[in-house]
Amino acid sequence: MPQSLSNILVHLVFSAKDRVPSLDSSLRARLGPYLSATLRNIGCPLLQVGGATDRVHLLFRLARTTTVADVVEVVKTSSSKWIKRNRRDLVSHRWQKGYGAFSISEAEAGRVVTYIKNQEAHHRVIRYEDEYEDLLERYDVEYDERYVWD
């Protein structure tokens, strides 16, 4: 086949170190466009961004020539630096070491977009730890509880 094509949707989830609730609504409103531009610059168009005071959810199309790990490194490193530059009170901000990345079919994309849009309301009902474990179980990801949280 002379042309390489792909359509891989990824739901990426990561939180602030120790789930510190440092991402207020004002910061998240500016962080979303920054994350969108960051992903666009590496060829991974953002479909939806959302989160709560302690976490970020992204749904994006993975570029054909990159890995999820490479995307996570760029997104977390650049956004952490951006947060520290734009909020002097958050100069010690850090993201957790790990992340969750889940493949999403085109048929599921609408449901995931809605889920990400409703993160603030969802956060009032369920703790991040419970939400994350639910995602791991829903996507049949094996994990060791001792190493999930940092």
Domain extents in the chain: 8-142
Over residues 58-72, the mean pLDDT reads: 97
Alpha-carbon gap, residue 147 to 150, rounded angstroms: 7
Amino acid 123: pLDDT = 66
The answer to whether the predicted template modeling score (pTM) of the entire model surpasses 0.95 is no
Average pLDDT for the chain: 91
Instruction: Note the pLDDT tens digit of each residue in 77-125.
Output: 999 999 999 999 999 999 999 999 999 999 999 999 999 999 877 767 7
Alpha-carbon gap, residue 134 to 127, rounded angstroms: 11
Amino acid 50: pLDDT = 95
Q: Token digits for 68?
A: 């999820």
Q: Would you say 103 and 9 are in contact if contact means Cβ atoms under 8 Å apart? A: yes
Q: Which CATH superfamily is domain 8-142 in?
A: Transposase IS200-like (3.30.70.1290)
Amino acid 2: pLDDT = 77
SS3 30: helix
